[in-house]
Structure 1
Amino acid sequence: MDEILQFKEWIEKSNRIVFFGGAGVSTESGIPDFRSVDGLYHQKYDYPPEQILSHSFFLKKPEYFYQFYRDKMLYTNAKPNITHTKLAELESLGKLSAVITQNIDGLHQKAGSKNVLELHGSVLRNHCMKCGKFYDMDSIIKSNGIPRCECTGVIKPDVVLYEEPLDEEVMTRAIHAISSADMLIVGGTSLSVYPAAGFIDYYTGNRLVLINKSATPYDSQADLLIQQSLGDVFGSI
């Protein structure tokens, strides 16, 4: 049977679908991923992106961190693409129970998805490290150098940096969603970042769909492997 036909048939039969997505979900909205040939990890800076986006670097060199962050992590004009839109539709139809994302761009919510579990946080939320006051993304964009609160505290994005743990509550909810899913769609992720990639092991059903252009360490475990772009796959359902 054709892969897309099989995919559509499983969606029709399922009522607790969970989508687990990575950077590849947003590349078609113009947001580059990290590990592809022209991704962030292949661009030249004074420091490697992994180092700049680490907790210790943020504390040591916040001005440089924010220079990189404003330049490379904030995409104010990005709009949801067909994958975001179709997932929101599946949720509104009562077929999709959760979107679990490694992305920090907020595009799933912009497309209309309600139950979105953000494993790595969001650029749309920022808080003062001293008093906890909330700041939106515009506040960061309009600020110069190190953004500071009225109380003089440094403002930090609600993004999980390297060396920082994932939010326990979000992880628990993600694991629960996956373990109770009757179909798990994994898309746009190399499945190489842990602990997030290991969440797939909590799925016990027989409709594990992997959609990714390149190979992943979990390909052999997939019940259905589709090596095409997410836009092409979701555009056909």
Structure 2
Amino acid sequence: MQEPKQLQQLQEMVDRSRRIVFFGGAGVSTESGIPDFRSVDGLYNQRYKYPPEVMLSHSFYVAHTEEFFDFYRTKMLYLDAQPNAAHKKLAELETAGKLTAVVTQNIDGLHQKAGSKNVLELHGSVHRNFCQRCHKMYDAEFMLHSTGIPTCTCGGKVKPDVVLYEESLDQHTLTKALDAIEHADMLIIGGTSLAVYPAASLVNYYRGDRLVLINKSTTPMDQNANLAIQGSIGEVLGAIQVR
């Protein structure tokens, strides 16, 4: 559990801030029951021949499309997952006019489900899927209940609007995220080891003096933070009072 002094520091920083930006990773969603797919656990090894990073790559999608979708449906679609205390508090901060943007590496849509409006999804979303031939859009339910290779009414392949390994981030989203971080008076980073680039490099654009890191383990940025808290992102953010 976090020290009361750290939580008090965090509260004081939030009270003084009017342009908070939250930058989050997989650790935000694990508390909603969505596993971090980058960890190769026993289940992956039992069922799949390749590590997740290979199966979620652009080249694997092209060369082994059906196997890609088998993995995608069973490991990336958690449509029953619900927002946790962290998602809800961030939405509350935005409604109160204190938080300007959520920048996320997650693709699950839980921030929007919690009520957040300005969510910048660096790696796309499972809730947007498009036909590669006619560009018709499909929702996540369609993907979940499809079999084999999801196919559009026109006969084209339906691809998730998620950034696969070997693919570039969407430049428009990236530019908006950089702008939000540059103009933030407080940057809260949570649930990420800051190991995935280029997303992790975005934090270098913050120029303020209220940099907060909340993670269950240490990160390379801890020494640069004004406040580093090791603990549950839901418990820490859930303890903040919005006033």
TM score, norm. by length of structure 1 = 0.96
Give 5+ residue unaligned stretches, structure 2: none
Deviation at 1:34, TM superposition (A): 3.1
**Equivalent residue, structure 1, for 2:20:** 17
**Which one of 162, 167, 192 corresponds to residue 189 of structure 1?**
192
Aligned pairs (5 A) from 1:139-218: 139-218=142-221
Deviation at 1:141, TM superposition (A): 1.3
Greater shift, 35-44 or 98-107, is seen at: 35-44
Give 5+ residue unaligned stretches, structure 1: none
d(CA) in 1 for partners of 2:107 and 2:45? 20
Other structure's SS at 1:2 match: helix
Verify the 8 A CA contact 1:21 1:186 in the aligned structure 2.
yes
Other structure's SS at 1:216 match: coil
Give the letter for the 2:22 counterpart: F
Deviation at 1:151, TM superposition (A): 1.1
**Equivalent residue, structure 2, for 1:79:** 82
- Root-mean-square deviation (CA, aligned residues, Å) is 1.5
The reply on whether 1:4 has 2:7 as its aligned counterpart is: yes
Verify the 8 A CA contact 2:181 2:206 in the aligned structure 1.
yes
For each residue in 1:144-200, what CA deviation from the matched residue of structure 2 results, as whole angstroms up to 9, or x when unmatched?
Answer: 100011111100000000000000000000000000000000000010000000000
Deviation at 1:44, TM superposition (A): 5.6
The reply on whether 1:49 has 2:52 as its aligned counterpart is: yes
Deviation at 1:35, TM superposition (A): 4.2
**Equivalent residue, structure 2, for 1:106:** 109
For each residue in 1:68-102, what CA deviation from the matched residue of structure 2 results, as whole angstroms up to 9, or x when unmatched?
Answer: 00000000110000000000000000000000000
4+ residue segments displaced more than 6 Å: 39-43
Verify the 8 A CA contact 1:40 1:49 in the aligned structure 2.
no
d(CA) in 1 for partners of 2:185 and 2:139? 36
Deviation at 1:42, TM superposition (A): 7.0
Verify the 8 A CA contact 2:37 2:75 in the aligned structure 1.
no
d(CA) in 2 for partners of 1:219 and 1:35? 22
Verify the 8 A CA contact 1:31 1:78 in the aligned structure 2.
yes
Paired residues, number = 237
Report % sequence identity: 65
Verify the 8 A CA contact 1:32 1:39 in the aligned structure 2.
no
**Which one of 129, 135, 139 corresponds to residue 136 of structure 1?**
139
**Which one of 60, 64, 69 corresponds to residue 63 of structure 2?**
60
Greater shift, 37-46 or 146-155, is seen at: 37-46
Deviation at 1:33, TM superposition (A): 1.1
Give the letter for the 2:66 counterpart: E
For each residue in 1:203-234, what CA deviation from the matched residue of structure 2 results, as whole angstroms up to 9, or x when unmatched?
Answer: 00000000001111111111100001101101
Verify the 8 A CA contact 1:18 1:96 in the aligned structure 2.
yes
